[in-house]
Structure formats: structure tokens, C-alpha cells
Amino acid sequence: MDSASTVSQQYGIIVHSIYATGVGRAGRNAWEVQLGQSGIAKIADETGGEYYSLGLQNPISFKPYLDRLQRIFDNQYFLVFQATPDKKSGLQRVRISTNVPNMEIASANNVWVPGGSYPAEASILFDGTVPITGASARVSVSAFRILVRV
């Protein structure tokens, strides 16, 4: 699961998941169910995605979950910024914030920064709970040694 999370973050993929109880032996084995749920929840969290689960009961409808995901997709943004690279390419910790009131931002924990000379271009896809509009909207990215306002 660590490699799935790392590869997803490297390529800027946000993983969202909906858990529904399986059928047969796998659906009845509580240990396997818990292990699977915790793994996919971890990947969703690290990549900035959402994880939905009803535990061991099947949902009556997936519509509420799909509607929530549609709202997330309607408020996705792609941010490109300059980062300070290390000698080797790799993931660097990142935190995104904004001055937009009542905005909650979901993004990956890390961003892929190519190694080499300064500055390196990095990018990240993130979700906001409300649209970011207007000339006064600012998004801040802080990753290791940088703080960029766009």
C-alpha cells in the first residue's frame, strides 16, 4: 500500500474510494475486511482523497457518495509552483492553505519534486469545498523550504 500511495502522489493522482461489503468468504472475514478498509483509507488520506464506508452494512444507494464526489470534482484545482529540489528526485512534504473564507482544502501529503538544479517546477491537484474565484483569492503552498503565493 505504501508503494500505491507513493506512485499516486508521484503522478499527482488523488484516490477516492467507496467501500461496500463483499460477498462470499472475503466479505465475512472481519480481519480481512478491516485490513482492506484501513489500507484504502490510508491511500485516500495520503493522496488527498475521500474514503466512504458504511462498515459492514451495504448502502441502499451509492448516489449520496457519488453526489459528494461530483461536488469535489467540480472544485478541483491544479497548482504549479517552484520548489527547491534535492540532488535526487523524490517526494517532499506539502501543505496548501488559502485566504478564501470557509474553504476546506484536501490535497496529497507530498508532492513529487524532480532532482537537479534550482528551481524545480512541481505541481499538485487539490480539492476545495467552495470555488476559488476573484483576484483576491490566494493559495499558499509550503513544502520543506518554500512558501509560494499565487
Q: How is 48-105 classified by DSSP, letter by letter?
A: T--EEE-TTSPPS-SHHHHHHHHHHHHTEEEEEEEE---SS-EEEE-EEEE-STT--E
Q: Which of 48-52, 54-58, 71-75, 76-80 has the highest mean pLDDT?
A: 48-52
Question: Which one, of 42, 47, 41, lies nearest residue 18 by Cα?
Answer: 41
Beta carbons of 142 and 94 less than 8 angstroms apart: yes
Query: pLDDT for 93-115, tens place per residue?
Result: 887 877 777 777 888 888 888 88
pTM: predicted TM-score of the whole model, two decimal places = 0.74
Question: Which one, of 106, 47, 126, 112, lies nearest residue 83 by Cα?
Answer: 112
109 - beta bridge partners?
none
pLDDT of residue 116: 77
The residue-averaged pLDDT of 115-128 equals 74
pLDDT of residue 114: 84
